[in-house]
């Protein structure tokens, strides 16, 4: 039986990035948070959310726009990082519910950015690296990227790859496939 009513937050972030080193004084900052709520008991994705975050110490490069589709003008309409963290905790119960991401990048990016800005980390300790679970469940030595995992699972890539909201939605589909195989860890054990 899956804990917390069977709900799981699947999170994927996009951050400012460059083709090479960042400009002097710039740091990688979260500019989009995609969150899909997965009801493991009902075996379906029940919520799809997107939070745009306005960067404070960097700008969206042309390389970043090409990769993510996000522009500086678009992220300028977003909320600041502190507000995004409060929103995650208040509206998505991120401190209470287990959560997952594809790999550890998203968890580490939140940790770094929260530490650098003295903002409370919005997530609880029950995190699952879905990439590791997928690799173990499929007997893979190398952990595949999300798009490759979708192909291996026979699932379509819905939306745009490197869109936080779309990637979280697709990771949610992979999580449901793992749960159907009995390979997803019980939230109470996390």
3-state DSSP assignment of residue 37: strand
Measure the CA–CA gap between 68 and 160, rounded to whole angstroms: 8
Minimal CA–CA distance to 53: which of 24, 87, 21, 96? 87
pTM of the shown model: 0.95
* Contacts of residue 131, Cβ cutoff 8 Å, sequence gap at least 6: 102, 103, 143, 144, 146, 149
Bridge partner residues of 99 (DSSP): 9, 127
Class of the CATH domain delimited by 7-185: alpha beta
* Domain residue limits, the chain: 7-185
Edge-first strand listing for the sheet containing 127-129: 44-52, 30-39, 7-15, 99-101, 127-129
3-state DSSP assignment of residue 11: strand
Confidence at residue 4, expressed as pLDDT on a 0 to 100 scale: 47
Confidence at residue 189, expressed as pLDDT on a 0 to 100 scale: 59
Tell me which residues of the chain have a pLDDT lower than 70. 1-5, 187-190
Confidence at residue 188, expressed as pLDDT on a 0 to 100 scale: 57
Question: What is the longest distance spanned by two Cα atoms in the chain?
Answer: 50
Confidence at residue 1, expressed as pLDDT on a 0 to 100 scale: 31
pLDDT in tens, 23-69: 999 999 999 999 999 999 999 999 999 999 999 999 999 999 999 99
Confidence at residue 9, expressed as pLDDT on a 0 to 100 scale: 98
Confidence at residue 186, expressed as pLDDT on a 0 to 100 scale: 81
Confidence at residue 15, expressed as pLDDT on a 0 to 100 scale: 98
Measure the CA–CA gap between 102 and 12, rounded to whole angstroms: 7
Q: How far is CA 187 from the centre of its chain?
A: 18
3-state DSSP assignment of residue 9: strand
Q: Supply the DSSP symbol for 19.
A: S
């Amino acid at each position: 039986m899956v804990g917390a009513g069977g709900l799981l937050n699947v999170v994927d972030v996009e951050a400012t990035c460059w083709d090479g080193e960042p400009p002097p004084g710039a740091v990688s900052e979260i500019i989009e948070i995609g969150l899909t709520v997965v009801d493991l008991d009902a075996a379906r994705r029940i919520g799809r959310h997107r939070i745009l975050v306005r960067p404070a110490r960097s700008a969206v490069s042309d390389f970043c726009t090409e990769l993510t589709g996000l522009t500086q003008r678009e992220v300028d309409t977003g909320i600041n990082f502190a507000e995004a963290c409060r929103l995650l905790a208040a509206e998505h119960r991120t401190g209470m519910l287990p959560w997952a991401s594809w790999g550890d990048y998203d968890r580490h990016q939140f940790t770094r950015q929260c530490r650098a800005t003295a903002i409370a980390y919005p997530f609880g300790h029950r995190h699952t690296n879905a990439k590791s679970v997928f690799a173990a469940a499929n007997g893979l030595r190398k952990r595949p990227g999300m798009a490759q995992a979708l192909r291996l699972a026979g699932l379509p890539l819905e939306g745009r790859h490197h869109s936080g909201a779309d990637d979280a939605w697709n990771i949610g589909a992979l999580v449901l496939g793992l749960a159907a195989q009995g390979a997803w860890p019980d939230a109470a054990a996390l």
